[in-house]
């Protein structure tokens, strides 16, 4: 059966597609521009007034310079460790805290909830955090970038509500079969809350990967700088990184600063672009479940 659309509905669909297309274009254009600039040689950049979307003669020299620099590889390893160990620790502690606070017979439950909410409203600040990390001996260690983010208070409240909305029959039947709290948490609560945990985990991974200010304040050892701090220093115009990438290269073969910056941006963004498609379905599923369960 052929369905006919009215003129107003057809106009509405056309307008919606145009608006969505423009939004998608504004999102994709910066990425295309950065990739195009990273593949452009210095002579072409100068000839085209440093604005290139599609290079006429693409060159991967900037990427070879960056990937041939030890400081970049070290920073990628540091960011990778931080973005894997940090979120894993956050999810574990957040799930444990949410499960404990979801037990309505827990003594002092209301006081503990108030303390969790207080950490969302009131923040200690940079100086107290620095002093605590210094007294704990965590400065100039990778733990200084992970311990302050070890518990996601807002995510803990979300998971707590999620657990409270789980079918009580599953928990009751497991308890009748002799399951303890550890068995309930591992075999029932964790699998059923996996979509919400995946959504929170994705946000934590992106947060850890994109963070650089905490490393700037807490880390003075350049050997454990994350990738985003290297990128920030390059964009801020610190010359020593560019000099390291052009070290031992003839002046005629050196890569332009703009190409190096853009190539570093692409390398720093690519892991998140590759990871997101694998977590997207869990994120959308978690949002849908949260909307249904309220």
Any idea which of 234-238, 252-256, 280-284 has the lowest mean pLDDT? 252-256
CB crowding 23-35: b at 16 or more within 10 Å, else e: eeeeeeeeeeebb
pLDDT band (50, 70, 90) for residue 190: confident
Average pLDDT, the chain: 81
**Which of the residue ranges 53-67, 91-105, 280-294 has the most confident prediction, judged by mean pLDDT?**
91-105
pLDDT band (50, 70, 90) for residue 254: low
H-helix or E-strand spanning residue 159: helix 153-164
Pairwise pLDDT comparison (237 vs 253), residue with the higher score: 237
Q: Is the pLDDT of residue 195 over 60?
A: yes
Q: Answer whether 0.85 is exceeded by the pTM.
A: no
DSSP 230-273: HHHHHHTT-HHHHHHHTTT--GGGPPPHHHHHHHHHHHHHHHHH
| C-alpha span between 240 and 152 (Å, rounded) | 36
Decide if 214 contacts 148 (C-beta within 8 A): yes
| C-alpha span between 225 and 230 (Å, rounded) | 7
| C-alpha span between 73 and 77 (Å, rounded) | 6
Q: Which DSSP letter does residue 188 get?
A: I
| C-alpha span between 40 and 135 (Å, rounded) | 48
Domain locations in the chain? Answer: 60-293
pLDDT band (50, 70, 90) for residue 241: low
| C-alpha span between 112 and 118 (Å, rounded) | 10
Q: Is the pLDDT of residue 129 over 60?
A: yes
Decide if 154 contacts 191 (C-beta within 8 A): no
Q: What is the pLDDT of residues 208-223, one digit of tens each?
A: 998 999 999 999 888 8
**Domain spanning 60-293, CATH architecture:** Orthogonal Bundle (1.10)
The set of residues, in sequence order, having a beta carbon less than 8 Å from that of 47 and lying 6+ positions away, is none
User: What is the pLDDT averaged over residues 161-165?
Assistant: 84
């Amino acid at each position: 059966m052929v369905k006919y659309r009215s003129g107003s509905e057809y106009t509405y669909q056309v307008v919606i597609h145009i608006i969505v297309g423009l939004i998608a274009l504004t999102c994709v254009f910066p990425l295309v521009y950065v990739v195009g600039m990273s593949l452009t040689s210095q002579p072409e950049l100068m000839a085209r007034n440093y604005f290139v979307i599609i290079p006429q003669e693409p060159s991967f020299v900037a990427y070879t310079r960056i990937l041939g620099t030890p400081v970049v590889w070290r920073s990628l390893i540091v960011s990778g460790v931080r973005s894997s160990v940090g979120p894993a620790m956050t999810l574990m502690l957040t799930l444990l805290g949410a499960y404990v606070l979801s037990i309505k017979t827990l003594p002092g439950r209301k006081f503990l909830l108030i303390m969790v909410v207080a950490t969302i409203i009131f923040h200690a600040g940079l100086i107290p955090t620095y002093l605590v990390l210094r007294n704990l001996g965590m400065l100039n260690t990778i733990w200084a970038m992970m311990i302050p983010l070890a518990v996601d208070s807002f995510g803990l409240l979300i998971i707590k509500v999620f657990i409270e909305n789980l079918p009580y029959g599953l928990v009751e039947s497991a308890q009748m079969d002799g399951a303890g709290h550890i068995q309930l948490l591992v075999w029932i609560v964790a699998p059923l809350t996996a979509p919400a945990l995946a959504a929170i985990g994705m946000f934590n991974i992106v947060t850890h990967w994109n963070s650089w200010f905490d490393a700037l304040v807490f880390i003075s050892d350049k050997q454990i700088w994350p990738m985003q701090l290297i990128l920030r220093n390059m964009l801020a115009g610190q010359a020593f990184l560019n000099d390291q990438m052009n070290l031992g290269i003839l002046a005629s073969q050196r890569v332009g600063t703009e190409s190096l910056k853009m190539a570093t941006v692409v390398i720093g963004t690519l892991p998140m672009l590759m990871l997101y498609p694998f977590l997207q379905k869990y994120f959308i599923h978690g949002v849908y479940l949260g909307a249904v369960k309220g």
